Amino acid sequence: MKRRLLTGNGAAAWGARLANVDYVPAFPITPQTEIIETLGSWIDSKEMAGRMVTLESEHSMVTAAGAAAATGVRVFTATSSQGLLYAMEMLYTVAGWRAPFVMVNVSRGLSAPITLEPDHNDILAARDSGFLQIHAATCQEVLDSVLMAYRLSEDARVRLPVIVNLDGFYLSFTREPVEVPKEDKVLSFLPPFDPENIRFRASTPISQAVAVLGGGPYSYFRYETHLAALNALSVFDEISVEFGRFFGRSFDAVEAYRTEDAEFVFVMMGSFATKAKEATDRLREAGWLVGLVRPKLFRPFPKEHFLKLLKGKKGIAVIDQNISMGKGGVLYTELASVLYGSLDDGPVMASFIGGLGGRDISSEEFFEIAKVIRRAAEEGKAPPPRLLYTEEELREMRKLQVIANAERNQAGKRVGKKDE
């Protein structure tokens, strides 16, 4: 099948177009804007059906998306970073409505300080909202994820909104060859949304509302949402088999790269994981038994997949492109909770934080991480968490602090100690 060069944003737009979405509430933000611009131009030129409305904020945009989905139409929207956070109240609300739709988030580090480049603290802030999460690592996966996301979201056993995440710049503005599937094939894989009991017709006015509830019924609805999210694990596996049959590409919940005979494994999410893949190949050439495990599905958390893939490994290096203040890497924490007590003679785990605000992770750093985890396995002792940060970077930081006149040019000196 013919491939074409598309940015991650372009691939996201193609996903929405092929899904035949009915409604696109939109609000611009870097680095996402190209998605809604692309959809806007297609809708304008009638290459694509559907209606687009520009709202006055992301909060309203997600409200509109949830409300439209609650009338039984297929909805797509997209945001990034601060926009996602601005909409956070409604993320929880529309997930509580059990409104099925797909939102793309283009990851970008959060303020303050402000950046345009990616890390995952924005998307992980939505971790507990009830939205399911698929994390893409390539432009092809962005398109595929959107199609998968609609199947997952609209499935009656799930019926929850889904976020597809892609990294700003590294995917959003990067073109790669992408196979855009034929419309009829997509239509067979993803038929028009059958909303079943979700309906709203102007000719038959009914009220749709949620009530203020006490703890008993409240707990029921909250836990049902959790159970639906857990259901999405087996539903995802089922859809991914179908996806492979339709499009000839696999779309597993967790990617396992050269893990079969691996003793040491990198665990990462998102586009930076392809760097780990590159490093894995180089390390393999040098005789290292390493591999990569990358969750595409992050909510629900694919526990069993991890257990199967990590059984018998000597060491695991989790590289988090996020940081939970006062705790550390989120993926590390979640994986540790899965492995604890589940594997006999479990692997040594090491936590690395890297790629915050788009900070690059070099091949040499992956090589060094492999050395660290091998040593840790030999000694049977996990090393302390490590921020990927070099002396050169700290020196550059000192220069900035001098410019900012931080504490009257005290940059470089350790402060916080009592004056002698």
In the complex, the residues that contact another protein under the rule CB under 8 A are 5, 7, 112-113, 116, 169-170, 173-177, 271-272, 274-275, 277-278, 281-283, 285-286, 288, 358, 360, 362-365, 367-368, 371, 386-394, 401, 403-408, 410-411, 414-416
**Cβ-proximal residues to 415 (8 Å cutoff; 6+ apart), any chain:** 407
Angle between helices 273-285 and 363-379 (to 10 degrees): 70
| Spatial distance between the Cα atoms of 175 and 177, rounded to a whole number of angstroms | 7
Place of tokens 């962005």: 142
The CA-atom distances, in angstroms, between 289 and each of 49, 73, 90, 262 are 50, 49, 46, 5
| Spatial distance between the Cα atoms of 11 and 32, rounded to a whole number of angstroms | 12
Query: Please, what is the minimum distance in Å from the beta carbon of residue 182 to another protein?
Result: 20
Measured from the CB atom, the residue of 218 and 389 that comes closer to another protein is 389
Q: SS3 sequence, 128-194?
A: CCCCEEEECCCHHHHHHHHHHHHHHHHCCCCCCCEEEEEECCCCCCCEEEEECCCHHHHHHHCCCCC
Measured from the CB atom, the residue of 54 and 405 that comes closer to another protein is 405
Measured from the CB atom, the residue of 155 and 365 that comes closer to another protein is 365
290-295 vs 264-267, strand pairing mode: parallel
Query: Please, what is the minimum distance in Å from the beta carbon of residue 391 to another protein?
Result: 4
Query: Please, what is the minimum distance in Å from the beta carbon of residue 234 to another protein?
Result: 31
Query: Please, what is the minimum distance in Å from the beta carbon of residue 168 to another protein?
Result: 11
Cα radius of gyration rounded to whole Å, the chain: 22
Measured from the CB atom, the residue of 224 and 278 that comes closer to another protein is 278
Measured from the CB atom, the residue of 377 and 388 that comes closer to another protein is 388
Paired tokens of 224:
């049902």
Measured from the CB atom, the residue of 169 and 189 that comes closer to another protein is 169
Query: Please, what is the minimum distance in Å from the beta carbon of residue 416 to another protein?
Result: 4
